[in-house]
Amino acid sequence: MLYLAEVQKKTGGLLGGGRAELKLLACQRSEQSWSAVPGEELVVCEEANNYNGGALLLVDLTANKQVQRVQEAGRQLVSILQNFSRLQEKFKTQEEEIEQWKQSLTYQSQELNRREMEMEARREQLQQMEEDFEQLEQQRQEIETQREEVTRQRDEFDRNRQELEGAWDHLRGEMRRFEEKQAEFQQSAFLDDEQANAIQELLNRLSGAIPATESVREDLNQSLEILTQQQNSLTQHWQTLEQQRSTTQQMQAEVDQQAQDIHQRWQEWHQAQESLEQARAELKVQQSSLNQKQESAQMLGVQLQNQEDLHQQVYRLADSSEKVAIGQHVDLESLEKIPLDELQKVVQDLERDLQKLSQFVESQEEELQLKQQEIDQIKAKIEAANGLDLNLENELADEQDGYQMLNETLVGQRRNLRERKNLLNRHQAVLRRRQGHSDGNGQEDEIDLGPILSQIEALRHQQADELHKLESQIEQMRTAIGQAQGLVTSQTAEQENKRNDLKQQEQKLLDRRREVAELWGRVNLYQEMLQPIQDNVDGLRHKLESLAGSMSQVQEAGGEQERAIAEMRQILVNLTNTPELAAS
């Protein structure tokens, strides 16, 4: 099982050597799941001695907590943190999307509620319109009934008029015969009883033939009143129709204006999208330039590491050969010029310093040998105990750590001792030459690698400066790219929000257009239903008005007929000299 552990070193021994242990921090449960290790659990691992205290390692342990594999946790932690960062960004994006979905669903729910309320209001309006249409249909049927009644009354009036005309024809015939009789009996002032009764009978028949128009006039007036009421109802419906037409025209104007606004917003969105695509292209160019500089920095870092390796190899070569020296730079020209006694004093000072350093190095070498002996003794004890003594194992690890640290310290001290010896040899050679002695130490055969190391160091500094400048440029480019990336990301999100908003606005516009089309359909249907009823009402009004005019003429004719009959009765009275005839 894989664990994340921290290297802990316990100091001990004469020179501060210590034993390394691993403190288990977390355990991997799955590929992306880690859990903390409770308490403070330590595991002994020899390989941990190769790492500094506080270093983080990935350790593969068995069920018995035996170490199988150890590796640095740096890259793994970076990868885990990158994955965690990506997951956080993904979760953040998903949370934003979920929030947008929630807002969209809330808005859609509100829109559905509003549409439902509008549909309910329209349903009630349609129901009211249907009731009005039913009432109009009932009124239309009443008008049809009244029109049939008027037609019947007009037919009856025509029949009465025809009968009246026949009576008038008969009366005129009788009047002619009466005139003829009057001519025959003009010598006589009176009529006999038979003739008078005949004429009286004719006059009674004429008087009874005059049609009674009062009931017809009353029915006609009632029909006109009903027709006026229906016209008032139709006028209200026409007003409602005009209101709906005005409302629909206003909604149509709003829909047209909204369509124009959405079209303009789409144009602005496409312009912004083109600018965003251009910014993305520029960002890709900057990213490509950054990658090139990173590759250059990586290559320069490799070269710098190679220079460091070469520098270490030269030092190891100097340590491994007596003929190779790395000496400090000695100004031979100044040594030739200084007084001889002063040069002797310098050589004596160098000899004393070298002797002190040699004694210290020898003591360190002896301590290193003692540690090696202690390590050998502990190993022997472990072999005798068959490797089952955990205390001996820990003690051996501590001694090995101390030995390693002391040995690493002695490497630099040995190198420093050789440099001091080389410096002393150069000064002694100059002193002997100035004293007139030959140089029999063979110093001319030594190879001085100091100039080479100086050149390597100068090249390292130059490359390090170049790398620092390049890293500074890379950091600046990363900052600029990060800002540009943030701007592009925010603009992308803004463009996506605008696009979604425009899509919603287009959907709303489509719904409004459908709604306006439905309203226009209702208005047209309303008008198509009202116009035939209005035409019928207008036609019936014209007929009733015409019939009223005819009734007036009939009433005038009836009055004239009654006056004529009265005059004829008076003439008959005068002829017969019978006043009772006038009374009848």
DSSP assignment of 117-159: HHHHHHHHHHHHHHHHHHHHHHHHHHHHHHHHHHHHHHHHHHH
Question: What percent of the chain is predicted at pLDDT more than 70?
Answer: 76
299-305 own/partner pairs: CB under 8 Å, 24+ apart: 300/463, 300/466, 300/467, 300/470, 301/467, 303/463, 304/460, 304/463, 304/464, 304/467
Q: Which residue carries 């009772």 as its tokens? A: 580
- Pairing relation of β-strands 67-72 and 324-325? unpaired
- Pairing relation of β-strands 447-448 and 324-325? parallel
The domain limits of the chain are 2-72, 97-256+529-583, 301-484
Q: What is the pLDDT of residue 444?
A: 45
Maximal C-alpha separation, the chain: 217
Q: What is the pLDDT of residue 443?
A: 46
Return phi, psi of residue 19, to 5°. -105, 130
Tell me if residue 17 falls in helix, strand or coil.
coil
What are the distances in angstroms from CA 66 to CA 3, 22, 102, 292?
A: 12, 12, 52, 45
Mean pLDDT rounded to a whole number for the chain: 77
Whole-number Å distance between alpha carbons of 270 and 267? 5
Within its chain, how far is the Cα of 424 from the centroid?
80
pLDDT band at 361 (very low <50, low <70, confident <90, very high): confident
pLDDT band at 191 (very low <50, low <70, confident <90, very high): low
Q: How far apart are the first and last CA of the chain?
A: 142
Q: What is the pLDDT of residue 168?
A: 66
Would you say residue 265 has pLDDT above 50?
yes
Whole-number Å distance between alpha carbons of 359 and 343? 24
**Reduced 3-state DSSP string for 344-393:** HHHHHHHHHHHHHHHHHHHHHHHHHHHHHHHHHHHHHHHHHCCCCCHHHH
Least confident of 143-147, 282-286, 361-365, 448-452: 448-452
What are the distances in angstroms from CA 510 to CA 101, 246, 268, 502, 572?
A: 22, 21, 21, 12, 92
Whole-number Å distance between alpha carbons of 103 and 532? 51
Q: Which residue carries 């090139």 as its tokens? A: 292
Whole-number Å distance between alpha carbons of 418 and 426? 12
Taking the alpha carbons of 412, 417, 421, 427 in that order, is the dihedral positive or negative?
positive
Are 382 and 333 in contact, with CB atoms under 8 Å apart? no
What are the distances in angstroms from CA 53 to CA 6, 26, 95, 401, 438?
A: 8, 18, 41, 12, 55
What are the distances in angstroms from CA 258 to CA 11, 267, 310, 404, 514?
A: 80, 14, 76, 83, 14
Tell me if residue 19 falls in helix, strand or coil.
strand
pLDDT band at 189 (very low <50, low <70, confident <90, very high): very low
pLDDT band at 387 (very low <50, low <70, confident <90, very high): low
Tell me if residue 550 falls in helix, strand or coil.
helix
Task: Establish how many alpha carbons lie within 13 A of residue 148's alpha carbon, considering only the half-sphere containing its beta carbon.
Answer: 5
Q: What is the pLDDT of residue 493?
A: 92
What totals of helices (H) and strands (E) does the chain contain, helices first? 8, 7
CATH architecture for residues 301-484: Orthogonal Bundle (1.10)
Whole-number Å distance between alpha carbons of 162 and 147? 22
Considering only CA atoms, which of 67, 17, 51 is closest in space to residue 400? 17
Whole-number Å distance between alpha carbons of 254 and 257? 5
pLDDT in tens, 11-61: 544 334 457 788 888 888 776 677 888 877 888 887 777 777 778 888 888
pLDDT in tens, 468-514: 888 888 899 889 999 998 999 998 999 999 999 998 988 888 888 88
Taking the alpha carbons of 395, 396, 399, 404 in that order, is the dihedral positive or negative?
negative
Q: What is the pLDDT of residue 38?
A: 81
Q: Which two tokens stand for residue 409?
A: 């310290």
Q: What is the pLDDT of residue 13?
A: 42
pLDDT in tens, 134-167: 777 776 777 777 677 767 767 776 776 676 677 6
Residues 6+ apart with CB under 8 A from 398: 10, 12, 13, 17, 18, 19
Highest mean pLDDT among 110-119, 245-254, 377-386, 531-540 belongs to: 245-254
Identity at 258, one-letter amino acid code: Q
Q: What is the pLDDT of residue 187?
A: 47
Are 136 and 233 in contact, with CB atoms under 8 Å apart? yes
Whole-number Å distance between alpha carbons of 528 and 525? 5
Higher pLDDT, 209 or 552: 552
Are 433 and 356 in contact, with CB atoms under 8 Å apart? no
DSSP sequence for 25-87: EEEEEETTEEEEEEEEEEEE-GGGGGS-TT-EEEEEE-TT--EEEEEESHHHHHHHHHHHHHH
DSSP sequence for 200-219: HHHHHHHHHHS---HHHHHH
Higher pLDDT, 397 or 572: 397
Considering only CA atoms, which of 26, 11, 3 is closest in space to residue 402? 11
Highest mean pLDDT among 180-189, 302-311, 421-430 belongs to: 421-430
Task: Establish how many alpha carbons lie within 13 A of residue 289's alpha carbon, considering only the half-sphere containing its beta carbon.
Answer: 15
Q: What is the pLDDT of residue 267?
A: 92
Q: What is the pLDDT of residue 500?
A: 92
Length in residues, the chain: 584
